[in-house]
Amino acid sequence: MQHNLVKKNLELILDINEDLSRIKDLDSLLNRVLHEARRITHSDAGSIYLVDGPNLTIEYLQNDTLRNRQNRNSRFEYFKQTLPINQSSVAGYVALTRKPLRIINAHNLPSYLPFSFNKAFDKASGYHTQSILSVPLVAGGSTIIGVLQIINAQDDEGRIKSFSREDQIMVSLFATQAASAIDRARMTRDLILRMIQMAELRDPEETGQHVKRVGAYSVELYHNWAERHHLLESEISHKLDILRIAAMLHDVGKLAISDSILKKKKSLNSEEYDRIKWHTVLGAQLFLKGDSDWDQMSAEIALNHHEHWDGSGYPGDIPDLNALTLSFGKGKKGEMIPITARIVALADVYDALTSPRSYKKPWPDEEVIQYIVSKRGTQFDPELVDIFLEIHPTFLSIRGKYPS
């Protein structure tokens, strides 16, 4: 019986590893890695820490108990925690020693152990962590990139049990392969952020934290919208994989706009404002030569994220973006605007209003909500405004994870 289970899990790991290599977005990959590690061990919760200098930062968190208790839009998924890589915590100890660790009862550790269980998450969420399996994520055979930690293994009746020796072997094997995929995805994310840093040199308001928030808001809005429309889970996962990065690049066309406009301290005149509008077209043109789903989504978001639901936005209908002479057309209206662009439009405005700028202080949350509601059916898709109101607590958590 046990031999058959081990064989089944080995086959599962091989299949998963092939899928992991296709995932482009770091967050989508972390989500999949954590989900599969929990599935292998039938565990209730887990988290992934990634190395950030001398520290570990929690980057992804899943918890079925809290999700069922608080619904999908709970705040716990954006819980923020940073731990030093030393012997004082479970994850820090595993990162330091690069050895897996099994714990039977997290709240009752023997006093002779060098580490202690960090109770911050349990206190913040009301959750009770009992059994823990913590394994290092080592890429290239030598580079520690993080820690995969899964919590509260369960038996067939849902009762919490200890992680077994077989669990440790399977998850450690899986973590070895997952670490390489995570390392590749992180390099891709770093490359994207460097591109955004280039834009930041041109436009001080286009910061790395801003685009991370816009990407995270967009993913949450899309996931809720897609579930409302009963899209297949495979389609949702595929879109989420590419949406975050595409959303982060929504303003990349500003790289082609003059510094005299982007860095102007005073209000833009009509001619300057008309010029900056062209960042939508210029951004879309960057992705026209690619034929991947990611190129297509990046182009449609860059082009359309300033279109308005009532047709009053820009740049409007442009039949051929490769034409020698281009001019703005009649504004796209309603569902003529791609759903991804409608989502990023709301996410971008929300972040602009809630963030400090050189010319303003952040708006209070109540005023931001009032403004977005006032633009329901004119600037913004009415359904997306309704979804935004439902999941606003999640937006607040995202702002906490990626502060200005």
Q: Is 55 exposed, middle or buried (0-12, 13-18, 19+ CB in 10 A)?
A: middle
Q: Which of 360, 401, 345, 364 has its CA nearest to residue 205?
A: 360
- Residue 135 backbone phi and psi in degrees, to 5: -130, 145
Give yes or no: 277 in active site: no
Contacts of 284 (CB under 8 A, 6+ apart): 253, 299, 300, 302, 303, 321
**Rounded distance, CA 253 to CA 277, Å?**
10
Output DSSP code: residue 241. H
Q: Which of 8, 161, 212, 254 is catalytic?
A: 254
Tokens of 121: 């998450």
Tokens representing residue 170 in the block: 């399977």
Q: How far, in Å, are 262, 269, 270, 309 from residue 274 at the CA level?
A: 12, 9, 6, 20
Query: How many residues appear in the chain?
Result: 404
Asked if 171 and 148 touch (Cβ cutoff 8 Å), the reply is: yes
Phi-psi region of 83 (alpha: psi -120 to 50; beta: other; left: phi over 0): beta
Q: If you ran DSSP here, which 8-state letter would residue 192 be given?
A: H
* CA-to-CA separations, 326 to 278, 283, 315, in angstroms, rounded: 10, 14, 10
Distance between CA atoms of residues 210 and 198, nearest Å: 14
Token pair of 394 as six digits? 């999640």
Residues belonging to the active site: 254
